[in-house]
Amino acid sequence: MDASYFWIRFILAALATWRITHLLANEDGPADVVVRLRTRLAKSFLGELIDCFACLSVWVGLALAFAVASGPVEWVLTWLALSAAAMLLERTSPEPLVVERVSDPIEEGQGDGMLRARTENADQAAGERHDRSLR
């Protein structure tokens, strides 16, 4: 196998390692298939493995190294390099934006629409300041 053929296969395998690992560790998947799988495996060894991007990239890289390498030494080096490439790609990708709804205190009956709620102590202190200003 010539060098250019190896590098093309290695780059494709590195991208595939990152994609499969990212899908399994961080995404819901189509029709929430992956999130259901992670939920079922939650408390098991496989559940812990699937939650760790670094751990999972080692095992995904192991499988894909067979498609790239030809000899046993080259296979071991390719296996570890694929995991490392996936980790580097993961570190360069931005953190996902997570949007959470903040509960509305008016809907829950906790506020009157003001940004800061008054407490009894605050009302009492305000009344004392008002009394002192009248003196």
What digits encode the pLDDT tens for the residues 61-113? 999 999 998 889 999 999 999 999 999 999 998 877 676 777 655 555 555 55
pLDDT reported for residue 63: 92
The string of DSSP codes covering 1-14 is --HHHHHHHHHHHH
The pTM score is 0.66
Q: What is the 3-state secondary structure (H, E, C) of 102-115?
A: CCCCCCCCCCCCCC
Tokens 């940004």: give the residue.
115
Q: Please say if the pLDDT value at position 15 is more than 70.
A: yes
